[in-house]
Structure 1
């Protein structure tokens, strides 16, 4: 299986095509990008399997006025909001920039999905970690109940705003929700758009698949909170604020000495919440494959890529 890959800067060709990023046999992957504030462009994607490239499929339109996934498809490849699926095990993937300046896209990342059975992790050591991440609710606007992703992102932005004295990273939830809104999808849960919005603010941001909570704890030990995506059915997550969820995002801010994760859960009445380790880890790994948003200031980028198990 191919590792997570992060490129910055990107060596775009004259035709606006990226280098080939390895897929290692994956049949599903989440490409993400960081671009300059105010940049406008369309992204296309193609993949190679058995030595043959697919035709280009439209991935997304990104601009200050229009942000929309495009759900393009071609023989052998299909885009579903933020995820690229292949008909056969993939060897490589390329992105192409159209209707804009490729140099404005200064970083790209690729998170190939992992097909694996869940195995509980064991915490090494008994030290507890609990980062002081500002607490925000996803119910910031009356009648709006689907803002878990932008709320989780806003909490991480606020965390670094305080640490680095960056008032421009201190944004309220409606502002972040507007910035990540996907017009075609009709919501704020597009993983790539959340990452791209953080990147447009001058941070390094990407999506990655992690192995387990023990790998996530390594980020926390370097004072890097994560946004994790998980789902559950009734009775599967003790203490959850909702009976069930097909996809929820929250900030992983800590781990207790006995191993239970500590989250800022934007749907929880108290925001700060702790869930049984094995239950939350299983719902994260089985629900999304262990996907997370990694959002850090540029000076922490190299360490974050290494912790994600990536190559740059």
Structure 2
């Protein structure tokens, strides 16, 4: 489980308040299920999520580069050709100031199919020692004005050059960045983000030929309506994928510098399970820093290399996706799904899904705990349609496999509002998930990913 109090908790609380979430605790959830009807609330038939990712040779060529070039081949990417300039960066987490050569690439303007209240960027890159990448977003609102260039992340695969970090205190009075999420401050006002551009700044040690390589960058824009409950779906698949099982609780107290150790490692533990499902894992050299007495040292490795030094946790959604994509020929995105039916399609094609949810103990039968935010891995469905999940909040690896009731699961995952133990309204993730898949997926996997707007 994540920490009881975190910036993710602050985000969900802020979203609840911004979207009219000050609902009295005495109001039954069924009565409030639809939430307030803001002037721009989507209709039942309107799409709720728009995905746009740049990753093909044509995609990269359609952007505007300064000092970058496109590398063709089986997996086209963007690299530094000749630096566009040099700048100093003072790392806020070490106090060290260093000079870096840089080059930039800016995407074309993407007009979202969904006038959005939230946008989450994600990227896939190789950043060898001596390099790092900054990802920014510039959007246009429905009132015709623009956002500033928001920093969505300063990312390095390692931690020897800069500390991987989100950037706090970014706001223009209309929207704010909450760790890894762009959010309209007052969704009930009807203000929406209509379009955006992304900008990559690739950095390297001056005087070297080093370069990061970015294979994919994009974003998920969404406007999920306020809802305490979601419609039930009918079971459509019975299948279970053979996903490794790792418990975060086995690591309680280990490496507390990374978010107090295993007790808060649900996200990297889930990420490591899926990385290994696809046949990838850290090498012995990668794991040499981990104490030899530790079981499953790769979970510690995942925690270290997903850790966000500003958020002070391992639950930064895009940082987890970026970690997964550092493994050979892996792709990863952060998105939202609309139903368990969508999730069934992915599992049916052999793609397990990491989902984010929050719930009271009594809302998920068999969990044995409640949480303000937790990541699990959905690996299948029973013949009755119940969800088979690898739940890292388990006492041992052997206990990780759980079966949760379908109706309970889809509600705690897909809702955007919930009541906490004191009766206060809190936010829910509205179907946020991580999708990790091979850079060259099978035909069946490609069909499903394309149908969900990922490819």
In structure 2, the partner of 1:14 is 65
1:111 aligns with 2:220: yes
1:121 aligns with 2:248: no
Give SS of 1:61's match.
strand
Deviation at 1:179, TM superposition (A): 0.7
In structure 1, the partner of 2:449 is 305
1:85 aligns with 2:183: yes
Whole-angstrom distance in 2 between the partners of 1:130 and 1:169: 28
CA deviations 1:61-87 (Å, max 9, x no partner) are 112222100135242332111111135
Q: In the alignment, which of 385, 391, 401 is matched to residue 259 of structure 1?
A: 385
In structure 2, the partner of 1:42 is 134
Whole-angstrom distance in 2 between the partners of 1:266 and 1:155: 9
Give SS of 1:149's match.
helix
**8 Å CA contact retained: 1:140, 1:174:** no
Deviation at 1:167, TM superposition (A): 4.8
CA deviations 1:36-94 (Å, max 9, x no partner) are 24241222221111333222122211122221001352423321111111352011122
Q: Which has the larger radius of gyration?
A: 2
Deviation at 1:279, TM superposition (A): 0.4
The verdict on how the C-alpha distance between 1:151 and 1:241 changes in structure 2, with shifts beyond 3 A counting, is farther
In structure 2, the partner of 1:97 is 200
The verdict on how the C-alpha distance between 1:187 and 1:103 changes in structure 2, with shifts beyond 3 A counting, is closer
Larger mean CA deviation between 115-124 and 288-297 belongs to 115-124
The verdict on how the C-alpha distance between 1:77 and 1:46 changes in structure 2, with shifts beyond 3 A counting, is farther
Q: In the alignment, which of 139, 164, 182 is matched to residue 249 of structure 2?
A: 139
Gaps of 5+ in 2: 1-46, 67-104, 186-190, 205-210, 254-260, 285-296, 416-427
The verdict on how the C-alpha distance between 1:169 and 1:258 changes in structure 2, with shifts beyond 3 A counting, is farther
**8 Å CA contact retained: 2:171, 2:177:** no
TM-score, normalised relative to structure 1: 0.90
1:53 aligns with 2:146: yes
Q: In the alignment, which of 402, 414, 417 is matched to residue 273 of structure 1?
A: 402
**8 Å CA contact retained: 1:251, 1:263:** yes
Whole-angstrom distance in 1 between the partners of 2:281 and 2:170: 41
Whole-angstrom distance in 2 between the partners of 1:113 and 1:128: 30
User: What is the aligned-residue RMSD (CA, Å)?
Assistant: 2.2
Gaps of 5+ in 1: none
1:204 aligns with 2:331: yes
State how many pairs are aligned: 304
**8 Å CA contact retained: 1:58, 1:70:** yes
In structure 1, the partner of 2:412 is 283
In structure 2, the partner of 1:173 is 299
**8 Å CA contact retained: 2:264, 2:314:** yes
The verdict on how the C-alpha distance between 1:103 and 1:18 changes in structure 2, with shifts beyond 3 A counting, is farther
TM-score, normalised relative to structure 2: 0.63
Whole-angstrom distance in 2 between the partners of 1:277 and 1:113: 24
